[in-house]
Amino acid sequence: MKQLRHRLIAPMTIGAIIALLILAALSAAGIQAVDHISHPSDVFTVVYRNASPSVVAISVETEAGGGNGSGFVIDRDGHIVTNAHVVDGAQEIVVNFINGAKVRGTIVGIDKASDLAVVKVDLPAAQLSPITFADSQDLGIGQTVLAIGSPFGQGWTLTSGIISALDRRIRGLTEFSIGGVIQTDASINPGNSGGPLINLDGEVIGVNSQIISDARSSAGVGFAIPSNLARRVARSLIESGEMRYSLIGLTGFDVSLTVTELLRLPNNFRGVVVREILDDGPAAASDLREIAEMRTLDNEFIDMRVDIITAVDGVPINGMNDLITYLARKTHPHQVITLSVLRNGIEELKLPLTLGSR
């Protein structure tokens, strides 16, 4: 036992000596060592303390009854971002602040396509604490995130988790999808809708919007609308009361194994297969072609004639989600874009297309 004790102590002694040498080297280099290591919960406490004055609890009254949600202040003019489904149809909106202040809110604009809305309150600038948007293009899977909101009407709850996935696609309140969505396992429940998903710098990376759950409570799969889209929509709603999206006028699907086999493409080839070009849409006026499948009598594929979109304006497109995200974030109606297209697995084309409007 005595011999074993020596074996345990010796590495610890050596480790202590190494630590002292490192500290001495840092001191000699003029670098001061941190005098303590904060526990993650301490970091969360600081982030919550700084961000919570920007987060609001929203109560609404509609013809169908009452409801609750969350939101966050984005400027000193009193503009607040929340979800469209929180305030849509509201006859009365009450905005609650963490300091106890309660004020009425008015709708500036609603964008059902992104499930986002902007509400305005009339308060002095000194009483408002705007929160900062982060760049959602800089996010990484595994990154620690925090959600602040009012689940089940319980105000200012903090939950933590990570970014579980990026570039998810969810449905908005229209027939169109929302692309580039953030998936998180931070607990999100009814009432969190419209509240911020933030990073450890206290910046908004997304707007908490949906969950997947059979029980209408957190099952570890929550979705947040990315901050870059939220910022663009909020700006448009404030400036004009509406958000106008580009329309390309086609349906498509991600390149499948069957497509790569039939066209003899690399098995990691990616893009959007043009399934159908909608009548009277922008794509119908371009040189894009719909998929044409040739079959034998026993219903086996023998040939496939197809356009695959691989890039827009030189930006690679890996699938339908990328195409939706690019159009929503980077384009506007009537803009001319250039599609990189692989036709029939052989011919590489550059096709101009003038976008329409939803």
Residues that are catalytic: 85, 115, 193
Angle at 56 between CA 197 and CA 185, to 5 degrees: 25
Residue corresponding to tokens 């006026």: 285
How many angstroms separate the first and last alpha carbons of the chain?
Answer: 78
Angle at 271 (CA atoms; ends 269, 275), nearest 5 degrees: 125
- DSSP assignment of 259-278: HHHHHT--TT---EEEEEEP
State the Cα–Cα distance between residues 129 and 302, nearest whole angstrom. Answer: 63
**Residues in CB range of 95: below 8 A, 6 or more apart:** 56, 57, 58, 71, 80, 102, 103, 104, 105, 119, 121
Q: Rounded to an integer, what distance in angstroms lies between the CA atom of residue 153 and that of residue 343?
A: 54
Q: How many CA atoms lie within 13 A of 347 on its CB side?
A: 10
Tokens in use for 171? 């449905």
Gap between the Cα atoms of 224 and 226, Å rounded: 6
The contacts of residue 223 (CB under 8 Å, 6+ apart) are: 168, 170, 181, 182, 183, 184, 208, 209, 210, 211, 212
H helix and E strand count, the chain: 6, 22
Following CA atoms 324, 328, 333, 339 in sequence, which dihedral angle do they give, to the nearest 10 degrees? -40
